[in-house]
Amino acid sequence: MSQYARSPVTAVLGPTNTGKTHLAVERMCAHSSGMIGFPLRLLAREVYDRVVKLKGESQVALITGEERIAPANARWFLCTAESMPMEHDLAFVGLDEAQLGADPERGHVFTDRLLNARGREETMILGSEALRPMLRSLTPEAEIVTRPRFSTLSYAGAKKLSRLPRRSAIVAFSAEEVYAVAEALRRLRGGAAVVMGALSPRTRNAQVAMFQAGEVDYLVATDAIGMGLNMDVAHVAFASLSKFDGRRQRRLTVAEMAQIAGRAGRHQRDGTFGTLHAEGPGALTSEEVLAIEEHAFPALDHLYWRSGEPDFASVGALIDSLEAPPVSQALRPAPQAVDLMVLKRLADEPWVADRARGAAMVRRLWAACGLPDFRKLGPEPHTRLVSRIFGHLSEGAGHIPHTWFAEEIARLDNVSGDVETIAGRIAAARIWAYVAHRQDWLAEPAIWAERTRALEEKLSDALHVRLTQRFVDRRTAVLMRQIGSDAAALPVTVGPEGEVAVEGEAIGTLSGFRFKVDASARGADTRLLLAAAERHLATELATRAAALAAADDSEFALVTEGEIAIAWQGQQVARLKAGKTPLAPQIVTDRALDALQDIDRTRVRERLASWLSASIARHLKPVAGLEMLAKDADAPAPLRAVAAALADAGGIAPRAPLDPMLAALDSAMRHRLRRTGAAIGTLDIYDARLLKPEPLRWTAALTALRTDRPMPDLAPAGASVADAPAPGFRMIGDQAVRIDLVERIARAAHDAKPGRAAFVPDPSLATSIGIRPGTLERLMRLLGFHAVKEGWAWRGRARRRAEPPRVARPGNAFAALADWGAGG
């Protein structure tokens, strides 16, 4: 937006509670279009909700790293500073908390926006009075306006937690300290809401709503509340006065103290501030108190700067431009941020240097390096993640594989655990939300953005519940008030998602037929909750049993992750174990079904058995056909022997062990075997129908049951090759190739050979499948060819590698498949 540098620029300076942000929102809405950049996602979301009420959802956009609501006709944009779309031509542009240009970590972003973000008709810079000399130096054209605070802010001294007035906010500077203070308030005053910058907007709003509604009288927060979040706080108490700023533990500056203390009071209501400690490093000095009350802070003598338009000619040029010194004496080079640190580490990787050629790919690398480290696991894990993402972005279609992305999301889709565990999942979910909102990183970004949004909301709701349960003693009070020791008096309800509640307070979940007490329940409450659930859930369990007995086949699924089981509506209700025959496994119902009446339990077992039988008949019909042939008394004995062996192998078997039996088959018997669907290949015997994903999964599952082995890993659907053994694939060297494709190559090679003369086979078929050259050479030798100077020559007959000996086990069908695939 530098082309609009001549547009009117107004700088509105002053302490907190001066209405600066409110003024900027009013000015923006008075224009035909506009944008404001904020320091926090939470603040951007809060203002977005306000503007939507004025202008309507179709006209307003919210753009942050992890959230993007951008209607096609949006005219007003609320963004985090880092996410401001600088290419837009807008009538109004505002920047909030511009003094953050002096922040070592993010300052260069705010400085760049201060210098370059301009509206076509009006630009407004909001910040502290300390910013004035920097504005005079860097934007001399700006008109500076000072606004006084609406209310008085005064020092109230040091007070212990037990003596803090109602409507107090206690500020701490680490998650551990926040939790410790909140736990103490739970014991002393009945509970507290918790607000931290790492919380999602949904969790933060739910916690603030409790405080605003008077459900709790105290709020424990990090310094995130200092950036314009509006709450009815009468008093701010500092639990400590030092924080870790990413590099060292240091005492807060007076300006930082004032920014936080200024949250006390609102509009015309006066506010107070103080500490929890009267002496020591946690106490305010008289000079600090006076400066906060008078809003008198040292003027800023520099802002941090880094080029907002770096050179993408090469990785080296990019690093040089990012480390270039500023041209103004009012600016200092920004300390190395996480994105630049990751870029330097990756620049030393040969594969990165090889791929990052050309401006477009260098831009892509830099975009990947900009992935925020929400997990805070340290530089090495974060660099590895960025490296993997860039690896995907720089190969093929340039998209992150949806299977990997889906797996990472699914791994986080779990609302169990304590506050720290769920907060960690939300931090990880924020990373994937950031990825999903990059428009060219995924093949279907809109779908994945919605998935990550839903995941964050789900985890956020769970975190709100955990925070409330941990720091607000509401549930125990409800239990004691309602029933004392009488479990029968509990008003238990079951929600549509299986949530079990007492007067709206969650006590556990009913997943399928299994009730699980809420993980945060106290030991003394657990027995009471279980008794209440057992007493009041009998009707619900009977209803679910009837629904299962009448369920459509589509509601059931075979579970192959962990133990092999049957799921109904996504919940496991039974597990499978080996039966008397390969195609008749036993059903062992979940112990939770023991709570059902006998007649209900019988109906459930019968319905599960009918679904299992129908599914096996549908997916493994070729194996059933082989079993019938093996038992056909009219079939010749050699044919029945081959059919039995192939059925025992699950319809797919290496040919070498069966060659002696195949030699006994005449042409008529071979023809009859082929009519079952079995193809006698050069290396393997198989029915192509069994190589489809679902039949192959069922075959592998029944094999695992019969051999008492773990379920093997399956190759991705549609895969031609794999790097590890998988059912339906033959290992050839260090690469696995699907057996029907091996046969295609074998047929092509034999069709192309000119007798025993040397020839060069067409490599296009193997290449299209994805077979590596070394694998193709091994396969050619395995097929009976040997390398000669002119190419390959036929050796006379295929030399098949002998399979490892197997120990026959009576009745152990599918045993061959369990060992199959190790050869090559």
Contacts of 720 (CB under 8 A, 6+ apart): 737, 738, 741, 769, 770, 771
What is the amino acid identity at position 685?
A: I
Q: Which residue has the tokens 């509009």?
A: 267
Clarify whether residues 711 and 644 are in a common domain: yes
Among candidate residues 111, 127, 146, the one where a domain is terminated: 146
**What is the side-by-side order of every strand in the sheet holding 514-517?**
492-494, 499-502, 505-511, 514-517
Clarify whether residues 444 and 490 are in a common domain: no
**Per-residue tokens: 777:** 């050479």
What DSSP element (H or E) covers 195? strand 193-195
Q: Is residue 306 part of a domain?
A: no
Clarify whether residues 179 and 262 are in a common domain: yes
Using pLDDT thresholds of 50, 70 and 90, give the confidence band for residue 17: confident
Clarify whether residues 625 and 732 are in a common domain: yes
Contact between 430 and 532 (Cβ < 8 Å)? no
Clarify whether residues 381 and 244 are in a common domain: no
Contact between 28 and 77 (Cβ < 8 Å)? no
Mean pLDDT, residues 393-418 taken together = 93
What is the torsion angle, in degrees rounded to the nearest 10, for the CA atoms of residue 586, residue 588, residue 589 and residue 590?
-150
In total, the chain counts a number of residues equal to: 824
**Angle (nearest 5°) at CA 96 between 92 and 97:** 155
Instruction: Using DSSP, state whether 341 is helix, strand or coil.
Output: helix
Instruction: Using DSSP, state whether 701 is helix, strand or coil.
Output: helix
Contacts of 790 (CB under 8 A, 6+ apart): 758, 759, 760
Among candidate residues 103, 122, 146, the one where a domain is terminated: 146
**Per-residue tokens: 688:** 């192509």
> Is a pLDDT exceeding 60 seen at residue 675?
yes
Q: Which residue has the tokens 């340039």?
A: 398
Query: For residues 103 and 209, what is the distance between their CA atoms, to the nearest angstrom?
Result: 31
* Phi and psi angles of residue 154, each rounded to the nearest 5 degrees, phi first: -130, 155
- Tell me the C-alpha to C-alpha distance, in Å, between residue 708 and each of 580, 585, 818, 820: 14, 12, 10, 15
Using pLDDT thresholds of 50, 70 and 90, give the confidence band for residue 523: low
Query: For residues 336 and 321, what is the distance between their CA atoms, to the nearest angstrom?
Result: 13
pLDDT at position 489 is: 54
Using pLDDT thresholds of 50, 70 and 90, give the confidence band for residue 528: low
Query: For residues 626 and 635, what is the distance between their CA atoms, to the nearest angstrom?
Result: 12
Contact between 158 and 275 (Cβ < 8 Å)? yes
> Is a pLDDT exceeding 70 seen at residue 228?
no
Q: What is the pTM of this model?
A: 0.57
Q: Is residue 690 part of a domain?
A: yes
Mean pLDDT, residues 573-580 taken together = 91
Mean pLDDT lowest for which of 277-291, 578-592, 807-821? Answer: 807-821
> Is a pLDDT exceeding 50 seen at residue 709?
yes
Pairing between strand 565-568 and 556-559?
antiparallel
pLDDT at position 525 is: 61
Candidates 372, 392, 367, 393; CA nearest to 382 is 372
> Is a pLDDT exceeding 60 seen at residue 743?
yes
Using pLDDT thresholds of 50, 70 and 90, give the confidence band for residue 812: very low
Clarify whether residues 138 and 171 are in a common domain: no
Q: Which residue has the tokens 């004496």?
A: 329
Query: For residues 425 and 149, what is the distance between their CA atoms, to the nearest angstrom?
Result: 40
Most confident range (mean pLDDT) of 100-104, 226-230, 501-505 is: 100-104
Instruction: Using DSSP, state whether 86 is helix, strand or coil.
Output: coil
**What is the side-by-side order of every strand in the sheet holding 271-275?**
153-158, 271-275, 235-238, 168-171, 218-221, 193-195
What is the amino acid identity at position 539?
A: T
pLDDT at position 204 is: 85
Mean pLDDT of the chain: 86
**Per-residue tokens: 154:** 């005064």
Clarify whether residues 491 and 555 are in a common domain: no
Strand partners, 273: 155, 236
Pairing between strand 218-221 and 168-171?
parallel
pLDDT at position 755 is: 80
Using pLDDT thresholds of 50, 70 and 90, give the confidence band for residue 784: confident
Q: Is residue 330 part of a domain?
A: no
Clarify whether residues 637 and 711 are in a common domain: yes
**Per-residue tokens: 118:** 């301009």
User: What is the crossing angle of helices 637-648 and 621-631, to 10°?
Assistant: 150
pLDDT at position 535 is: 66
Q: How many CA atoms lie within 13 A of 393 on its CB side?
A: 24
pLDDT at position 815 is: 40
Q: Is residue 366 part of a domain?
A: yes
What's the pLDDT tens digit per position in 453-500?
999 999 999 999 889 888 886 554 345 434 444 545 556 778 887 887
* Phi and psi angles of residue 95, each rounded to the nearest 5 degrees, phi first: -130, 120
What's the pLDDT tens digit per position in 116-154?
999 999 999 999 999 999 999 999 999 999 988 888 889
Clarify whether residues 602 and 671 are in a common domain: no
Candidates 64, 61, 12, 2; CA nearest to 33 is 61
Burial class (CB in 10 A: 0-12, 13-18, 19+), 621: middle
Clarify whether residues 527 and 487 are in a common domain: yes
Query: For residues 196 and 386, what is the distance between their CA atoms, to the nearest angstrom?
Result: 26
DSSP 91: S
**Per-residue tokens: 660:** 């002696």
What's the pLDDT tens digit per position in 722-732?
888 889 999 99
**Per-residue tokens: 56:** 């309507």
What is the amino acid identity at position 613?
A: S
Candidates 65, 67, 1; CA nearest to 33 is 1
Query: For residues 346 and 348, what is the distance between their CA atoms, to the nearest angstrom?
Result: 5
Query: For residues 34 and 79, what is the distance between their CA atoms, to the nearest angstrom?
Result: 11
| Sign of the torsion angle spanned by Cα atoms 24, 29, 31, 32 | positive
What is the amino acid identity at position 702?
A: L
- Beta strands per DSSP E along 445-561: 492-494, 499-502, 505-511, 514-517, 556-559
Among candidate residues 294, 328, 350, the one where a domain is terminated: 294
3-state helix, strand, coil in the chain (%, to 5): 45, 15, 35
CATH code of the domain in which 132 resides: 3.40.50.300
Mean pLDDT lowest for which of 319-323, 386-390, 511-515, 560-564? Answer: 511-515
Note down the domain range covering 429.
341-468
pLDDT at position 54 is: 95
Clarify whether residues 776 and 645 are in a common domain: yes
More confident residue, 569 or 821: 569
Q: Give percent of the chain above pLDDT 70.
A: 90
Q: Is residue 308 part of a domain?
A: no
Q: How many CA atoms lie within 13 A of 699 on its CB side?
A: 34
Strand partners, 244: 249
- The alpha-carbon radius of gyration of the chain (Å, integer) is 34
Q: Is residue 325 part of a domain?
A: no
Query: For residues 457 and 424, what is the distance between their CA atoms, to the nearest angstrom?
Result: 14
DSSP string, 622-656: HHHHHHHHHH-TTS-HHHHHHHHHHHHTTTEEESG
Clarify whether residues 86 and 37 are in a common domain: yes
Q: Is residue 320 part of a domain?
A: no
Contact between 35 and 88 (Cβ < 8 Å)? yes
Query: For residues 637 and 700, what is the distance between their CA atoms, to the nearest angstrom?
Result: 28
**Per-residue tokens: 390:** 């860039």
Neighbours of 571 (CB within 10 A): 16
**Per-residue tokens: 657:** 């062990």
What's the domain count of the chain? 6
What is the amino acid identity at position 154?
A: S
DSSP 191: B
Contact between 169 and 221 (Cβ < 8 Å)? yes
